Amino acid sequence: MIKARIVVTLKTGVLDPQGKAIEAALQSFGIGDVGSVRQGKVFDVEIEASDRAQAETTLKAACEKLLANTVIENYAIEIA
């Protein structure tokens, strides 16, 4: 089993209303030093693969087909 983490974030320039809401909430709790917040998703995945290259290929397909909306989101795959 190969362990991986996939981080999905909005592309630069895409509006992030959840990030803005979190930013406002932090400020309302007195945490005013936060400049801006961008919200994203993290997926921790265990995958059966013969090697890292095969795991990365399979995980990239998962991102392209399901985990990320590649029109508005970027993703990064980190294999442990």
Tokens of 64: 């392209």
Could you report how far apart the first and last alpha carbons of the chain are, in Å? 10
Q: Please tell me whether residue 31 adopts helix, strand or coil conformation.
A: coil
Over residues 17-71, the pLDDT tens digits come to: 999 999 999 999 999 888 899 999 999 999 999 999 999 999 999 999 999 999 9
Please, what is the Cα angle at 76 between 71 and 77, to 5 degrees? Answer: 130
Superfamily covering domain 2-79: Phosphoribosylformylglycinamidine synthase subunit PurS (3.30.1280.10)
What is the structure's pLDDT at 47? 97
CA torsion 52-54-56-61 (nearest 10°) is -170
What is the structure's pLDDT at 12? 94
What is the structure's pLDDT at 63? 98
Whose tokens are 């809401």? That residue is 21
